[in-house]
């Protein structure tokens, strides 16, 4: 069997392993990959990121729906959903957003990377989290009905994670010893599968017109955060991936809120 055929066979048959690796990386849920779960396995497993987004969004959206069924107002129900999402992921992506925001305040590339590695949070990080969470809560609560809020929460969770492998492919690692370097670079087929899953989810949940707009919003987040990472850091880090996911969610929800009556 040729190397190409072997690669194609792996891509078609190893979905359960890739989902487990992606779940172990992106969530605090008890995923237990049966095969190797080393960092270099993450590049291949990146195609499953949207599936993990579906799980996270489904749990968060389910919490939102249950809260509305208990006759809570939409805003507190949305906040409960956002809390569940943060618990499921261990606030991994929120931490990345805060670290990137803090690092952007430094003057040199080396100092930015040093600040981003610091576990303490600064003023820029706090403000970035406040603005991000406030925007998501307001945009979701402003949608006409809890059903639409649920769909938007799930769709944004899936699509925002679908673009993360694209960042891993297009940008070089910013550090020689960080997560990005250890994870490796996914090939174009892995990225295509991730983007394809995200696009299917967007169209299924939002319809053709709004789904296309949401896809464009997610790609815009990739361009903005990717440009910032390349110009200010020289590449991407794990924090950049988290920040990109958070920014993409906000962009997607802005588009959905703007299009819906």
For the ranges 52-61, 126-135, 178-187, 212-221, the lowest mean pLDDT is seen at: 178-187
* 132-156 average pLDDT score: 96
Q: What is the pTM of this model?
A: 0.93
Residue 135 confidence (pLDDT) above 80:
yes
- The domain tally of the chain equals 1
Asked if residue 3 belongs to a domain, the reply is: no
**Quick one: pLDDT at residue 100?**
98
Q: Tell me if 160 sits within 8 A of 52, measured CB to CB.
A: no
Q: Tell me if 109 sits within 8 A of 253, measured CB to CB.
A: no
Residue 184 confidence (pLDDT) above 90:
no
CB burial of 123-154 (b: ≥16 within 10 Å; e: otherwise) equals ebbeebbeebbebbbebbbbbeebebbbbbbb
**Quick one: pLDDT at residue 52?**
99
**Quick one: pLDDT at residue 256?**
97
Asked if residue 212 belongs to a domain, the reply is: yes
Asked if residue 11 belongs to a domain, the reply is: no
CA 226 to chain centre: 14
CA distance 174 to 229: 8
Asked if residue 9 belongs to a domain, the reply is: no
**Quick one: pLDDT at residue 145?**
87
Asked if residue 1 belongs to a domain, the reply is: no
Residue 121 confidence (pLDDT) above 80:
yes
Asked if residue 158 belongs to a domain, the reply is: yes
**Quick one: pLDDT at residue 19?**
96
Residues 6+ apart with CB under 8 A from 258: none
Residue 200 confidence (pLDDT) above 80:
yes
Q: Which domain holds residue 174?
A: 16-259
Asked if residue 6 belongs to a domain, the reply is: no
Residue 5 confidence (pLDDT) above 90:
no
Q: For residue 236, give the 3-state DSSP assignment.
A: strand
**Quick one: pLDDT at residue 36?**
56
Asked if residue 139 belongs to a domain, the reply is: yes
**Number of CB atoms found within 10 A of residue 260's CB:** 14
**Quick one: pLDDT at residue 40?**
66
């Amino acid at each position: 069997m040729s190397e190409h055929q072997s690669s194609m066979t792996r891509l078609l048959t190893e979905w359960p392993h890739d989902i487990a690796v992606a779940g172990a990386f992106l969530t605090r849920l008890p995923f237990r990959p049966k095969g190797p779960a080393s960092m270099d396995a993450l590049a291949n497993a990146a195609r499953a990121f949207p599936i993990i987004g579906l799980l996270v969004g489904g749990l968060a959206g389910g919490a939102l729906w249950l809260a509305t069924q208990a006759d809570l107002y939409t805003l507190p129900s949305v906040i409960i959903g956002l809390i569940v999402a943060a618990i499921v992921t261990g606030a991994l992506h929120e931490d990345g957003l805060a670290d990137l925001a803090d690092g952007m305040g430094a003057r040199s590339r080396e100092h930015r990377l040093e600040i981003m590695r610091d576990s303490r949070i600064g003023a820029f990080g706090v403000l970035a989290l406040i603005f991000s969470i406030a925007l998501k809560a307001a945009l979701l609560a402003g949608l006409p009905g809890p059903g639409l809020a649920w769909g938007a929460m799930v769709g944004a969770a899936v699509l925002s994670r679908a673009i993360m492998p694209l960042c891993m492919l297009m940008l070089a690692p910013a550090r020689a010893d960080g997560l990005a370097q250890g994870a490796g670079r996914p090939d174009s087929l892995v990225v295509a599968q991730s983007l394809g899953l995200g696009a299917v989810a967007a169209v299924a949940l939002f319809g053709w017109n709004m789904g296309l707009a949401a896809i464009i919003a997610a790609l815009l987040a990739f361009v903005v955060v990717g440009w910032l990472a390349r110009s200010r850091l020289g590449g991407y880090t794990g924090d950049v991936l988290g920040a990109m996911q958070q920014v993409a969610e906000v962009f997607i929800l802005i588009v959905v809120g703007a299009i819906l009556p």
